Amino acid sequence: MYARIAGTGSYLPKKILTNADLEKMVDTTDEWIKSRSGIEQRHIAVPGETTTDLAVPAARAAMAAAGVGPADIDLICVGTTTPDLIFPNVGTLLQQRLGIHGCAAFSLEAACSGFIYALSVAEKFVRLGESKCALVVGAETLSRMVDWTDRSTCVLFGDGAGAVILKPSVEPGIISTHLHADGKYKDLLYFPEGISTGFNLAGQGKAFLRMKGNEVYKVAVTTLGRVVLETLAANGIDKSQIDWLVPHQANIRIIEAIAKRLEMPMERVIVTLATHGNTSAASIPLALDAGIRDGRIKPGQQLLLAAFGGGLTWGSALVRL
């Protein structure tokens, strides 16, 4: 038994922030942002627009694509680092908004790897027969964590949500997932405050995402490179058998390095970075939905999903659509 992706959906907030807009906010240039990251614009949630607000239309689109309704969903698993509230979790907030009652609903936090972690957890429920129809979401409003006066981080991130519906199938499916983390890298990418350390350490509204971009870059290339080779070896398949690489969208140079390791031309990589920026846990399901809806990714094709993020966390999924 496998868990199969029966439908995908995504949603981006309406407000767009271009590199030209950022030139007016911080000491940066369109040329620097494009050449160093590949990003041209990003979508930003307006005040009051929450992670759950983005997750709802993404989930509805995935449910419509899969032909399922609220009564069919029996598990909700959301990857997010930017919950509306500390609790109730985003899974339950989403559940209520979708008119679903009673099924297990939770969110998990693995930064930009959140969707791969959520997919890996949910596919086990489906594969083991405990879920017949799981809703898996990656949704973020990282713009709320960013210091909009810090040019080294604010140009990189955007908001959005992506979702998939998983159903049991005798045909593959999610073929394998590979999750990793190493907390020794915690200082490379983190948000400095939380409940048990006490909010307001830096003063109300003064805490922001902190990143050693250069060092994250190096570890990302190494760990992603390793996990894609691990995925191929675990399944006894060759690089040439991957139809599409659907990577976390953080930096075009990182994506190109992984494509090179897989000897894949960039034409077989789904890249949404230029228009979405880095949407953290939402980036892979957003890219997956884009590739499916524009007809590039076709039923029966084999996809390699690969993510990394704060923690550091990283992981992959080999998927037959």
Between residue 176 and residue 195, which ones bind ligand UT7 under the rule CB under 6 A? 189
Binding part of the chain for ligand UT7, among 102-110, 148-156, 158-166, 297-305 by CB under 6 A, reads 148-156
Residue whose CB is nearest to ligand UT7 in the complex, by number = 213
- Whose tokens are 């868990």? That residue is 3
- Cα–Cα nearest to 39, from 249, 309, 209: 249
By the rule CB under 6 A, 34 interacts with ligand UT7: no
Among 77, 89, 112, 154, the one annotated catalytic: 112
Residue choice 51, 143, 223, 251 for contact with ligand UT7 (CB under 6 A): 251
Closest CB 45 distance from ligand UT7, rounded Å: 18
Taking the least distance from each CB to ligand UT7, the nearer of 61 and 220 is: 220
Residue choice 66, 220, 228, 297 for contact with ligand UT7 (CB under 6 A): 220
Q: Quick check: is 248 catalytic?
A: yes
- Whose tokens are 């689109």? That residue is 61
The tokens describing 253, both together, are 């140079």
Between residue 197 and residue 216, which ones bind ligand UT7 under the rule CB under 6 A? 211, 213-214, 216
Among 19, 89, 251, 278, the one annotated catalytic: 278
Between residue 115 and residue 134, which ones bind ligand UT7 under the rule CB under 6 A? none
By the rule CB under 6 A, 89 interacts with ligand UT7: no
Binding part of the chain for ligand UT7, among 1-9, 29-37, 161-169, 267-275 by CB under 6 A, reads 29-37
Residue 225 sits at φ, ψ, to 5 deg, of: -60, -45
Q: How far apart are CA 181 and CA 313, in angstroms?
A: 4
Residues 39, 155 contacting (CB under 8 angstroms): yes
The tokens describing 271, both together, are 């890249």
Secondary structure letter of residue 218 according to DSSP: H
Distances (CA, A) of 228 to 194, 196, 259, 271: 33, 36, 10, 17
Taking the least distance from each CB to ligand UT7, the nearer of 72 and 150 is: 150
Distances (CA, A) of 44 to 153, 157, 252: 14, 9, 20
* Kind plus residue range of the DSSP H or E element containing 246: strand 244-247
Q: How far apart are CA 43 and CA 13, in angstroms?
A: 6
- Cα–Cα nearest to 282, from 40, 57, 115: 115
By the rule CB under 6 A, 155 interacts with ligand UT7: yes
Residue 229: count other Cβ atoms within 10 Å of its Cβ: 14
Using CB under 6 A as the binding criterion, the count of chain residues that bind ligand UT7 stands at 20
Taking the least distance from each CB to ligand UT7, the nearer of 22 and 45 is: 22
Between residue 273 and residue 302, which ones bind ligand UT7 under the rule CB under 6 A? 278
By the rule CB under 6 A, 151 interacts with ligand UT7: yes
By the rule CB under 6 A, 82 interacts with ligand UT7: no
The tokens describing 16, both together, are 């767009």
Residue choice 30, 34, 36, 132 for contact with ligand UT7 (CB under 6 A): 36
| End-to-end Cα spacing for the chain | 15
By the rule CB under 6 A, 313 interacts with ligand UT7: no
Residue 274 sits at φ, ψ, to 5 deg, of: -60, -40
Taking the least distance from each CB to ligand UT7, the nearer of 37 and 95 is: 37
Enzyme catalytic residues: 112, 248, 278
Interface residue list for ligand UT7 (CB under 6 A): 28, 32-33, 36-37, 112, 151-152, 155, 189, 211, 213-214, 216-217, 220, 250-251, 278, 309
